[in-house]
């Protein structure tokens, strides 16, 4: 079964609105989670590192005020796309690592369509 | 800068063996992973190499040569369900943050 769960799987929102995507670690605590974005037929690009209890670390070129990340508990990180535009339409995926060990697990992903 | 190069597309027949190469150029290196992704789905972990050599996991094997900044994924006894995209990914340090390659689309034909 899944060890990292994302919700929602699909979301359609109107341009200018905000949408929140949740990433949960199941049966384990994740002090660090990662958010990736994948446009159709392209690779996964790291957006940010979500740190429990502290500010997220954003990759170069990712607007922190547009992609708000909150990691308020050891099992939940949220990504909020604010003032969404059609170009934000993409597949958003989170990941977390089960310790001990070094296997990185991905959530099921969330398809965002902005109309 | 960072770059991970993979062939864009590979075609093979059912039952055959296919090798997907990955060459990387990153500021640091901690390990190389391989992921499978079917259309519309999330990546699934296949294999991981931190040290030089071959790692075998069932029909999948992965090889790493750190001196050559090169690795490959070997898929044996190909099945139709193996048709998917395959990504190599580098961890530059111990943070579990991944830099993904461009991806290789594998098409398995009967």
> pLDDT (tens digit, 9 = 90+) per residue, B51-61?
999 999 899 99
Token look-up 């079964």 returns A1
Question: pLDDT band at A29, cuts 50/70/90?
Answer: confident
Largest CA distance in chain B: 41
A42 touches chain B (CB under 8 A): yes
Q: For residue A75, say if its preceding peptide bond is cis, omega within 30 degrees of 0.
A: no
Q: How far apart (Å, rounded) are the C-alpha atoms in residues B33 and B60?
A: 12
Q: Check B103 against A43: CB less than 8 A apart.
A: yes
Q: Check A43 against B95: CB less than 8 A apart.
A: no
Closest-approach residue (CA) in chain B for A51: B95
Q: What is the pLDDT of residues A30-87, one digit of tens each?
A: 888 999 999 998 999 999 999 888 899 999 999 999 999 999 898 999 999 999 999 9
Give per-residue burial for B32-49: e unless 16+ CB within 10 Å, then b.
bbbbbbeeeebbebbbbb
Question: pLDDT band at A28, cuts 50/70/90?
Answer: confident
A60 touches chain B (CB under 8 A): no
Confidence (pLDDT) at A97: 82
Mean pLDDT, consecutive 10-residue stretches, chain B (110 aa), reads 92 97 95 94 92 95 97 98 97 89 96
Question: pLDDT band at A27, cuts 50/70/90?
Answer: confident
H/E run at residue A77: strand A76-81
- DSSP class of residue B102 equals -
Q: What is the pLDDT of residues B3-21, one digit of tens each?
A: 999 999 999 999 999 999 9
Q: Tell me which residue of A31, A34, A6, A30 sits closest to A20, measured CA to CA.
A: A6
User: If DSSP codes are grouped into helix, strand and coil, which group holds residue B81?
Assistant: helix
Q: Check A102 against B99: CB less than 8 A apart.
A: no
Q: Check A106 against B42: CB less than 8 A apart.
A: yes
- Per-residue tokens: A100: 């001990």
Confidence (pLDDT) at A53: 86
| Chain B residues near residue A103 by CB distance under 8 angstroms | 45, 48
């Amino acid at each position: 079964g899944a060890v990292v769960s994302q919700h929602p799987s699909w979301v359609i929102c109107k341009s200018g609105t905000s949408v929140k995507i949740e990433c949960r670690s199941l049966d384990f605590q994740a002090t660090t989670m990662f958010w990736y974005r994948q446009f159709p037929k392209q690779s996964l690009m790291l957006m940010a590192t979500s740190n429990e209890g502290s500010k997220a670390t954003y990759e170069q070129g990712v607007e922190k005020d547009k992609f708000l990340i909150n990691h308020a508990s050891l099992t939940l990180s949220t990504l909020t796309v604010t003032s969404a535009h059609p170009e934000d339409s993409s597949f958003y995926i989170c990941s977390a690592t089960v310790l001990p060990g070094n296997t990185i697990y991905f959530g099921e992903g969330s398809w965002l369509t902005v109309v | 800068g960072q770059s991970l190069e993979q062939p864009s597309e590979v075609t093979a027949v059912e039952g055959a063996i296919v090798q997907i190469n990955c060459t990387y150029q990153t500021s640091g290196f901690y390990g190389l992973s391989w992921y499978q992704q079917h259309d519309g789905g999330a990546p699934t972990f296949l294999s991981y190499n931190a040290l030089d050599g071959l790692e075998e996991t069932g029909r999948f094997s992965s090889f790493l040569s750190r001196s050559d900044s090169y690795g490959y994924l070997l898929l044996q006894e190909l099945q139709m369900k193996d048709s998917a995209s395959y990504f190599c990914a580098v961890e530059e340090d111990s943070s579990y943050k991944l830099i993904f390659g461009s991806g290789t689309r594998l098409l398995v034909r009967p």
